[in-house]
Chains A and B, each alone.
Chain A
Amino acid sequence: GENVEQHPSTLSVQEGDSAVIKCTYSDSASNYFPWYKQELGKGPQLIIDIRSNVGEKKDQRIAVTLNKTAKHFSLHITETQPEDSAVYFCAARLYNFNKFYFGSGTKLNVKP
């Protein structure tokens, strides 16, 4: 099966700085990579996703990049705000499978 590793496990940044979270995957057959944000006491919510035929995707202050050759993808948050503080999960889905494989999560703390 697939194995997804996520780094760092915790990340502390100053408000206004950028934050980068990185994930690697093991199976080159993975072709869809969503990112989730989980706020305290809530379930994870999709914030951005990328498919394997695309190298980068942006949505306002959030961007995701994918390097298929190196089998890694990253979440970039610019101009961080205190409300960005949460746990972020990356995931990978194998082509033609119904299962998603999740990273272990990154706790982001944005200091005002």
Chain B
Amino acid sequence: DVKVTQSSRYLVKRTGEKVFLECVQDMDHENMFWYRQDPGLGLRLIYFSYDVKMKEKGDIPEGYSVSREKKERFSLILESASTNQTSMYLCASSRGRGFRQETQYFGPGTRLLVL
């Protein structure tokens, strides 16, 4: 079974803090993704990576950065947390490139509250 784990289920941070969200997958997947999930808006893509040290902006990258130093690990960084970044953050991974890409497998999510 594919397993995608996220470092924290719940996180409370203060405005202006630097926040790290970690994601690890154990299936040697090439692709990894970070989404945020807000009520009524579905899943919105923040960043994704299709290889180590590679990253591409998704639909809402502002205020976020990412790091992929190892194939199995993909980190999401909030450089200076703001209250409008309070959300559920979901990490996902998948195998394959382009039209060969298979479905995405999701982690359990990190619910972040920024005060």
Q: Interface of A with B (CB < 8 Å)?
A: 1, 6, 9, 31-32, 34, 36, 41-46, 49, 89, 93, 95-100, 102-105
Further 19 A-B residue pairs, CB within 8 A, beyond A34-B103, A43-B4: A1-B59, A6-B42, A32-B99, A36-B106, A42-B108, A42-B109, A43-B92, A43-B106, A43-B107, A43-B108, A46-B104, A46-B105, A89-B42, A89-B43, A96-B99, A97-B98, A98-B97, A102-B35, A104-B41
CA distance A102 to B41 in the complex (A): 9
1/0 per position for B22-44, CB-CB distance to A under 8 A?
00000000010001000011111
CB proximity to A under 8 Å, residues B50-81: 50, 56, 58-59
Would A31 and B99 be within 8 Å (CB), given that A42-B108, A44-B90 are in contact? Answer: yes
Least Cβ–Cβ distance between B68 and chain A, in angstroms? 14
- Check if B101 is an interface residue, CB within 8 A of chain A: yes
Does B42 lie within 8 Å of A93, measured CB to CB? no
Contact of B31 among A44, A89, A98, A102 (CB under 8 A): A98
- Return chain B residues, CB-CB under 8 Å to A43: 4, 90, 92, 106-109
Does B40 lie within 8 Å of A104, measured CB to CB? yes
CA distance A96 to B101 in the complex (A): 8
Would A49 and B109 be within 8 Å (CB), given that A98-B98, A102-B43 are in contact? Answer: no
- Return chain A residues, CB-CB under 8 Å to B106: 36, 43-45
